[in-house]
């Protein structure tokens, strides 16, 4: 009976210490929307009780508040209030975590990303592209969403490029119509995508969309589509003309995230599709592609400064 | 003394009992302030020790022991509860799997330490309150605060009198039940509580009638202070000690010296200020002591 009880308890995850150590997770610590990388490493020896907090504590000096549930400082860089508010936020596989770090149990293969940022103008950035190929491969906290690539008209080559790249990066692509639990990867020029209810949030300010970019038209209705890159205060920082691509991730509530691979025109879409890859997207909230270059969004604003 | 609650006030010619209410409140208030708000285990332990020494010095040894017993039991419960409900902290000692409501339960060293600090606060607070209850005349307390908060003062005084009486009743009822002989059916707690409640209600009616006879219902003001009471020779001692300790308590709280950080890992580094304040509170307990002790001298000690 005692042996049976031990076996049952062991099966329920009961035991001494942090549990069996197996598997590893990625840990990235950055500041200012990923512009400065402080820690970027794979952490091995994940136990059954490896929370996001414990993983971080093993790799950096941290201070907490509110009974240990909130990370206040990492390696001396702390959150601060005042005119501009800075704090630490974390993403799991590119999805903003919905709970305190002490409550999130890290699974092997998860990509944990901590970023210290100015959230005054955009508190809710629900999804980012910087952990590609996550969350397409592993999902979030055991929820794996079937990935569906949605192509708009006249985007066959770009669509094929995206599908091939996803497959090459180990993402299993579902065919058929997307369901409510599907993760959509939308490929198409902005005029064709903006009718989608989720993608249309890109028309709103970063506080709503979580993306620091906005499409517009040069010369009013009927003119060519342009893209404006915004800084972390939500102000216009850089203007981009034709042949500009954008890769961004959006998420509403608990729904699966939606990735938007778009551009001002078909050439921009092709550029964005060609830029899909881990090297180009790493540590970026969203990316703008132009003239063969990939830049981060928000556009770094030297005048905005960083937290002390 | 059997049958009398350990926390009940007993008149003695000891220092705390003899001194004025203001100096005593300042003195014990400093201990209470530290026990409530400090997060420094060293200062908390010192304040608890000091309060216990103060209690022993003025003949409240039973109250101190009783408060310590209660405090330690409460502290143990707090440690266990915090260990179960707070899975924060980096040093996992025990994994207890998934529980209903609580979710995943990991018992961590840091959660146990955080519970221990809360428990230490509880122990200290109970000792200070125990010493106050056993050494400060509730009637004097009523007179002192009746001018400010008449009803609250009356309520507090009645509670401080009636709770020990209820404890005495409980002990007597238990003895009476035991005297029925070995063949009698055991008396359950519910039956005892029922009798105790009935007795308390009877007594409450008596108290209300007595208060009415003494004119409380007519709103006549009692003397605002203990005006006719002569100054005690211990007043100055407690006033000075109270001011010094209160200043030390405020310094400890404002500077946050020696604060313990428990999450995600335990970090505690008491500095010289922490040691100094702890020493002051531990030694402060001896202020209640006097040469020859209090034994054998009951009554007014002015």
> At CA B148, angle to CA B144 and CA B153, rounded to 5?
60
Q: Name the closest residue on chain B to residue A8, using Cα atoms.
A: B97
The answer for A33, left when phi > 0, alpha when psi is -120 to 50, beta otherwise, is left
By the CB < 8 Å criterion, does A128 face chain B? no
Q: Average of pLDDT values for B249-256? A: 86
Closest CA to A243 of A214, A276, A216, A270: A270
pLDDT one-digit tens code per residue, B144-180: 777 777 777 778 777 777 877 888 888 888 888 888 8
Q: B217-241, pLDDT tens digit by residue?
A: 666 555 555 555 667 788 899 999 9
pLDDT band at B279 (very low <50, low <70, confident <90, very high): very high
Put simply, whether B104 touches A (Cβ < 8 Å) is yes
pTM to 2 decimals? 0.77
In a domain, B62, yes or no: yes
CB contact under 8 A, A14 and B97: yes
Domain presence at residue B293: no
Distance CA B161, CA A167 (A): 80
Q: What is the DSSP string of A145-162?
A: PPEEEEE-TT-HHHHHHH
Say how many domains are in chain B: 1
- With the CA atoms of B275, B279, B281 and B287 taken in that order, what torsion angle do they form, in degrees rounded to the nearest 10? -170
B218 belongs to a structural domain: no
- Residue B242 maps to a domain: yes
CA dihedral B155, B158, B163, B165 (to 10 degrees): -170
Nearest to A68 among B89, B96, B106 (CB): B89
Phi, psi of B197 (to 5 degrees): -65, -45
> Is A53–B90 a contact, with Cβ atoms under 8 angstroms apart?
yes
Considering only the beta carbons, identify the residue of B87, B261, B265 that sits closest to A102: B87
Cα–Cα distance measured from residue B58 to residue B52, given in angstroms and rounded to the nearest whole number:
10
Structural domain includes residue B221 = no
Q: Predicted ipTM?
A: 0.75
**Interchain proximity A18–B265, CB inside 8 Å:** no
Instruction: For chain A, say whether B97 makes contact (Cβ under 8 Å).
Output: yes
Q: Give the DSSP letter string of B16-27.
A: HHHS-HHHHHHH
Q: Residue A17 and residue B106: Cβ atoms within 8 Å?
A: no
Please report which confidence band the pLDDT of residue A306 belongs to, taking 50, 70 and 90 as the band edges: low
Residue B159 φ/ψ region, left for φ over 0, alpha for ψ in the -120 to 50 degree band, beta for the rest: alpha
Nearest CA in chain B to A59: B90
Find the domain containing B72 and state its range.
15-137+233-288
Question: Which residues numbered 10-29 in A keep a CB inside 8 Å of some CB on B?
Answer: 12-19
Separation between Cα atoms, residue A234 and residue B196, nearest integer Å: 69
Question: What band does B3 get if pLDDT is binned at 50, 70 and 90?
Answer: low
């Amino acid at each position: 009976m005692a042996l049976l009880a031990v076996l049952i308890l062991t099966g329920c995850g009961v035991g001494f210490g942090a549990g069996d150590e197996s598997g590893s997770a990625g840990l990235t610590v950055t500041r200012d929307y990923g512009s400065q990388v402080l820690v970027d490493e794979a952490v091995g020896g994940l136990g059954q009780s490896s929370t996001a907090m414990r993983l971080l504590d093993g790799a950096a000096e941290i201070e907490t508040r509110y009974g240990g549930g909130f990370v206040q400082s990492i390696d001396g860089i702390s959150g601060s209030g005042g005119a501009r508010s800075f704090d630490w936020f974390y993403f799991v596989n590119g999805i903003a975590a919905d709970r305190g770090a002490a409550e999130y149990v890290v699974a092997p293969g998860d990509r944990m990303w901590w970023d210290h940022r100015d959230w005054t103008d955009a508190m809710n950035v629900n999804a980012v592209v910087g952990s590609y190929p996550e969350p397409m491969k592993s999902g979030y906290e055991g929820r794996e969403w079937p990935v569906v690539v949605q192509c708009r008209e006249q985007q066959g080559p770009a669509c094929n490029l995206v599908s091939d790249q996803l497959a090459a990066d180990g993402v299993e692509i579902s065919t058929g119509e997307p369901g409510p639990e599907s993760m959509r990867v939308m490929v198409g020029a902005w005029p064709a995508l903006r009718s989608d209810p989720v993608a249309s949030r890109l028309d709103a300010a970063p506080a709503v969309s979580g993306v620091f970019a906005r499409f517009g038209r040069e010369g009013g209705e009927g003119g060519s589509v342009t893209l404006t890159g915004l800084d972390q205060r939500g102000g216009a920082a850089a203007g981009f003309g034709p042949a500009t691509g954008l890769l961004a991730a959006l998420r509403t509530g608990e729904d699966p995230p939606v990735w938007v691979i778009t551009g001002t025109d078909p050439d921009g879409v092709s550029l964005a599709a060609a830029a899909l890859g881990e090297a180009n997207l790493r540590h970026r909230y969203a990316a703008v592609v132009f003239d063969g270059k990939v830049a981060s969004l928000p556009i770094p604003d030297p005048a905005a400064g960083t937290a002390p | 003394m059997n049958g009398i609650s350990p926390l009940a006030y007993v008149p003695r010619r000891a220092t705390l009992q003899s001194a004025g209410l203001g100096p005593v409140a300042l003195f014990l208030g400093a201990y209470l302030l530290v026990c409530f708000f400090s997060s420094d285990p060293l200062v908390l332990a010192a304040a608890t020790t000091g309060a216990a020494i103060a209690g022993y010095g003025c003949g409240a040894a039973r109250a101190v022991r009783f408060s310590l017993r209660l405090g330690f039991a409460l502290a143990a419960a707090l440690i266990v509860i915090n260990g179960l409900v707070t899975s924060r902290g980096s040093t996992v000692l025990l994994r207890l799997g998934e529980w209903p409501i609580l979710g995943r339960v990991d018992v961590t060293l840091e959660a146990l330490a955080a519970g221990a600090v809360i428990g230490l606060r509880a122990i200290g607070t109970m000792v200070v309150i125990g010493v106050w209850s056993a050494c400060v005349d509730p009637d004097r307390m009523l007179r002192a605060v009746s001018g400010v908060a008449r009803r609250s003062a009356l309520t507090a005084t009645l509670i401080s009198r009636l709770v020990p009486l209820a404890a005495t009743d409980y002990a007597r009822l238990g003895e009476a039940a035991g005297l029925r002989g070995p063949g009698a059916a055991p008396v359950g707690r519910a039956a005892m509580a029922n009798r105790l409640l009935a007795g308390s209600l009877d007594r409450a009616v008596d108290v209300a009638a007595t208060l009415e006879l003494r004119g409380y219902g007519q709103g006549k003001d009692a003397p605002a202070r203990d005006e006719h009471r002569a100054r005690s020779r211990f007043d100055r001692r407690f006033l000075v000690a109270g001011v010094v300790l209160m200043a030390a308590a405020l310094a400890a709280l404002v500077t946050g010296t020696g604060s313990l950080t428990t999450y995600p890992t335990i970090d505690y580094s008491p500095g010289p200020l922490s040691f100094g304040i702890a020493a002051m509170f531990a030694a402060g307990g001896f202020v209640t002591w006097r040469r020859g002790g209090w034994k054998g001298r009951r009554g007014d000690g002015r």
